[in-house]
Chains A and B, each alone.
Chain A
Amino acid sequence: NAGVTQTPKFQVLKTGQSMTLQCAQDMNHEYMSWYRQDPGMGLRLIHYSVGAGITDQGEVPNGYNVSRSTTEDFPLRLLSAAPSQTSVYFCASSPRRGSYEQYFGPGTRLTVT
């Protein structure tokens, strides 16, 4: 079991560029989520999914898109990167929806210049 994997580990983008952060889990978990972690602000939920084909917004969704075409994968897309999106991004999964414990990936450190 690889658990939750994220790629890339590090990324530098220029303002206006687009990219996709990849997240995959091999635990057949129903629920997946994306967070951003900023100094002094803890983790904030960006988007989440309660199953294939179902996504919803979290606390800070602006500037990000997600899709969930399979149970395993939950990519996060930045359509036009901004310096305010410089952050560490974590993907997490949970066996099912409804406030159960989450398993986190190792994170992606993104810098937008």
Chain B
Amino acid sequence: AQSVTQPDIHITVSEGASLELRCNYSYGATPYLFWYVQSPGQGLQLLLKYFSGDTLVQGIKGFEAEFKRSQSSFNLRKPSVHWSDAAEYFCAVGDGDQFYFGTGTSLTVIP
């Protein structure tokens, strides 16, 4: 089975600082990769996705992610964090009709 690892359970950043959330995956072929965000008590919302092509993908809310095949990584970045970005972030990999999610990274933003 495929697997997704998010090594950071919790991250705290100051508002205005840059952010990088790490994601590593285990998958034999070219993966379909996703980042989702979950606000407290809500469902998940898609931030961005990678299927093929340009390895730097842009998403909503100013987020971007870079696919690095050599490192099996798909890290999420944002140059300047806003207080409203406080949430839980999930990386996921698609394998045909099945999806595998990481355990999530909880982001706290300090004013």
Contact = CB atoms under 8 A, between A and B. Distances in A.
Contacts of A99: 32, 51, 94-97, 99
Interface stretch (B11-19, B40-48, B61-69, B70-78): B40-48
A106 B101 contact: no
Nearest to B45: A104
Given A42-B104, A90-B43, A90-B44, A102 B99 contact: yes
Interface of B: 1, 4, 6, 9, 32, 34, 36, 41-46, 49, 51, 90, 92, 94-104
Q: Which of A35, A43, A59, A90 has the most CB of B within 10 A?
A: A43
Contacts of A4: 43
Interface residues of A, number: 28
Q: Which of A98, A102, A103 has the most CB of B within 10 A?
A: A102
Q: Which of B41, B43, B51, B96 has the most CB of A within 10 A?
A: B43
Q: Which of A97, A99, A103 has the most CB of B within 10 A?
A: A99
A24 interface: no
Interface in A14-71: 31, 33, 35, 40-45, 48, 50, 56, 58-59
Nearest to A101: B46
Contact of B98 (A45, A103, A104, A106): A45
B105 to A, nearest CB: 10
B103 A40 contact: yes
A45 B9 CA distance: 21
B49 A101 contact: yes
Contacts of B97: 31, 48, 50, 56, 97-99
Given A40-B9, A45-B98, 16 more contacts: A35-B101, A41-B103, A42-B103, A43-B90, A43-B92, A44-B101, A50-B97, A56-B97, A97-B96, A97-B97, A98-B96, A100-B94, A101-B34, A101-B46, A103-B46, A107-B43
